[in-house]
Amino acid sequence: MPLRSRWSQWCAFRSWIRTQSTPFLPFTTPISLGRSAKFASTGSSDPSDPHDVELARKWLKAFESGVKSIPRHVGQVSFSRSSGPGGQNALVIQSDESRQQATNVDLCYAKLNRLLVISAKEVIPGETSQEQKDRVSKLQRAQNEARLKEKKIHSSKKSNRRGSKYDD
């Protein structure tokens, strides 16, 4: 799935959450999980506030474990025999796995929970291990040393072309 569409989905989800009377996300400030540019980069430069990212990780962990879930009064549940119109501003989740209406409603909420977890995992960055941080810093040092070595070689090459003042 392209980065832009995932980001659009996340922004739409966040704005929907903010309109609800009982917020169930623990964000104290609006979370910023990347640039909202026309040509978003897939690079590793992440301008997010570390505090917000940590809150998002905690929320995701609680949401995955079942401690937090979507309240039942959020949204509108309707029942129809056929697949009715969806249209704009309508998120249609359906289930016909059971013959019992209450079971199908529970299954729809479970599907919505899974959808939110999958979407959040794609957008919320994971924690970087200490080994990975050490490896990256080691690679950066090696790259810097190689750059400086190349710079010295280039400098000596140019100084050799200049010649000395005693050559005349």
Count the alpha carbons within 13 Å of 151 in the hemisphere toward its beta carbon: 6
So what's the pLDDT on residue 49? 78
| Among candidate residues 113, 30, 31, the one with its CA nearest the CA of residue 71 | 113
Q: For every one of its 168 residues, what pLDDT tens digit does the chain have, with 9 covering 90 and above? A: 444 566 677 677 766 666 654 444 444 444 444 444 444 445 455 556 778 888 888 888 888 887 777 787 877 777 776 666 666 666 777 777 878 888 888 888 888 888 888 888 888 888 889 999 999 999 999 999 999 999 999 999 998 888 777 765
Structural domain boundaries of the chain?
A: 3-127, 129-168
Distance set, CA 129 to CA 132, 133, 134, 135 (Å): 5, 6, 9, 10
Task: Note whether 17 and 126 are within 8 A (CB).
Answer: no
